[in-house]
Structure 1
Amino acid sequence: MALNHGTLHQDPALIKWNNMNANRHKYFRWTPRTAWVTFAYVVLVPSIIGTAFYMTDGKYEMRGKRRGDLIVEY
């Protein structure tokens, strides 16, 4: 019979990782790598996607097409 009902042995590595993950904002530093990654995801990727959508605006029509019809309007 088990002496400790309902308790689990806690892994010290998981506890350390959980504390680090919860307090990540306290240990964050701006480095060239983190600045570049932030710039890429905040500015570069949305601008590329927005430019692609702007360049193809109105070019494709998906509604009311039958088999064999082209989706390209011009």
Structure 2
Amino acid sequence: MAGPSKSLVLDPALQKYYELNANRYKYWRWTPRHAMISFVYMGLIPGVLGYVAYKYEGQFEFRGKRRGDSIAEW
């Protein structure tokens, strides 16, 4: 009763999608668009974040006031 069904019909569009997804590396090529996206995500964004972190390093105090701290330093 709860075994595999012999009347199961698979959707051909989903089967084609699964096959394409499994073999994506065979069809992928470098194009100017892929190169630009790769440069932005692997070079530009980390570079900008690193520059901002280096520029503002140590300029802000993020520790909040704790019990026992004097109010004079605030």
TM-score (norm 1): 0.72
For the residue of structure 1 that corresponds to 2:17, the secondary structure is helix
> Structure 1 residues 43 and 7, CA, compared in 2 at 3 Å: closer, same or farther?
farther
Range with greater deviation from structure 2 (24-33 or 7-16): 7-16
Q: Does 1:63 align with 2:63?
A: yes
Percentage of matched positions with identical amino acids: 48
Aligned CA RMSD, in angstroms, stands at: 2.0
Aligned residues: 63
What is the TM-score normalised by the length of structure 2? 0.72
Q: Which has the higher contact order (CA 8 A, sep 6+)?
A: 1
Larger Rg: 2
Unaligned runs of 5+ in 1: 67-74
Structure 2 stretches lacking a partner, 5+ long: 67-74
